[in-house]
Amino acid sequence: MQNLNMHNKLNNPNELNESEINESEQSKSPSNKVSTNKAQLNKIQTNKQHKFTQFNYQENLRNKKLHRLSYNYADNQVRWSALDGFLSVIILIALLVGIYFATSAILRSISQNKIVHLNITSIDNLTFSIFYGIQVLLMLGVVWFFAVFWRRSSFKALGFKYYSLIKTIWYTFIALIFIFIFSFIYVFALKFFFGIEAPQSKIEQLVSNNNVSGNILIVVTAVIAPFCEEIYFRGFLYSAFKKNFGVTIALFLSSLLFSLAHLELYSFIPILVIGWILAYIFEKTKSIFTAIILHSVYNLILISILLGKFQFVKMY
């Protein structure tokens, strides 16, 4: 209606007053159209600049994420091989055997050429601590040499990663139940079907002979042994075998070597099963700490039973 009135007034100039004429002329002015177009162009440019800034921000976030993923992949990459694992086993055996015979020769010369045997019945606190300390240093030494020094891998590649404590406790609980049930069935089957009694293990002989302090045995079996053995057998050997042969063969080989290293013929199969469980948990969690905790709790239960003179399951 207003536009119609304006149109009628433009057709009848006599009806227009001065203010209306000025308003009509300003609306038709080219300068207003130019200013309107400039405002629209500025708005478009501002929107484009905002979108470009937002795109750059998202691109930077994407690049940072890709960089972090590539860094984590390189950090977790296993660079050592199964050949390194087998070489480490050969080196360890050679060194330990050499140290054993060299020490026997030294003790024999000190004892005026008398025959001296280093065994469970003759070992004491000092000798036990020295020999086990040498074994620990050699195990960790070969891991450091092959994985860290030679192959330039990080400790994360060995499994030094955080894992949920609650899940670790749960896995430990379930694994211990399975281990003790299997151990009971194994001991019962050998005795019932074959009449084979469980002989004393090496750790039982140490406890029964009172040659080594109970405190030393607890520290060694529940703290030092789980830490070193899991780093070597699971973190190093299992990871190397998995890289070259796959999970199934790696589970078997690492467990087999773990059982052979304990030199317990009667408990060979149970220790093999324990090694398989430890390797499986390591594979599932990708953290060496879960395997260390399970190993530590299991050994602590066994040594506590032995020191309490309560015979339960002979497996160590």
Query: Do 275 and 176 contact (CB within 8 A), yes or no?
Result: no
Distances (CA, A) of 125 to 109, 121, 217: 21, 12, 9
Q: Which of 20-34, 53-67, 190-204 has the highest mean pLDDT?
A: 190-204
**296 pLDDT tier (thresholds 50, 70, 90):** very high
Cα–Cα distance for residue pair 292/287, rounded to 1 Å: 9
Q: What is the pLDDT of residue 274?
A: 97
Distances (CA, A) of 246 to 91, 250, 252, 280: 24, 6, 10, 13
Distances (CA, A) of 198 to 29, 162, 190, 256, 295: 110, 39, 9, 21, 22
pLDDT at 311 over 90: no
Work out the average pLDDT over 38-54. Answer: 65
Query: Do 240 and 258 contact (CB within 8 A), yes or no?
Result: no
Q: What is the pLDDT of residue 1?
A: 52
Residue 99 is encoded by which pair of tokens?
């140290």
- Which of the pair, 205 or 8, is modelled with greater confidence? 205
Query: Do 289 and 224 contact (CB within 8 A), yes or no?
Result: no
Tens digit of each residue's pLDDT (9 = 90 or more) over 55-83: 666 666 666 555 454 444 455 789 999 99
pLDDT at 21 over 50: no
pLDDT at 35 over 70: no
Tens digit of each residue's pLDDT (9 = 90 or more) over 135-172: 999 999 999 999 999 999 999 999 999 999 999 999 99
Residue 309 is encoded by which pair of tokens?
């003179």
Cα–Cα distance for residue pair 17/150, rounded to 1 Å: 98
Q: What is the pLDDT of residue 315?
A: 44
Q: DSSP letters along 249-316, please?
A: HHHHHHHHHHHHHTT-STTHHHHHHHHHHHHHHHHHH--HHHHHHHHHHHHHHHHHHHHTT-------
Tens digit of each residue's pLDDT (9 = 90 or more) over 206-264: 777 777 888 888 999 999 999 999 999 999 999 999 999 999 999 999 999 999 999 89
Cα–Cα distance for residue pair 140/137, rounded to 1 Å: 5
Q: What is the pLDDT of residue 215?
A: 87
Q: Which of 33-37, 96-100, 139-143, 305-309 has the highest mean pLDDT?
A: 139-143
Exposed, middle or buried, 28 (CB in 10 Å: 0-12/13-18/19+)?
A: exposed
pLDDT at 288 over 70: yes
Residue 22 is encoded by which pair of tokens?
């000025």
**309 pLDDT tier (thresholds 50, 70, 90):** very low
Work out the average pLDDT over 170-197. Answer: 94
**307 pLDDT tier (thresholds 50, 70, 90):** confident
Q: What is the mean pLDDT of the chain?
A: 80
Cα–Cα distance for residue pair 10/24, rounded to 1 Å: 9
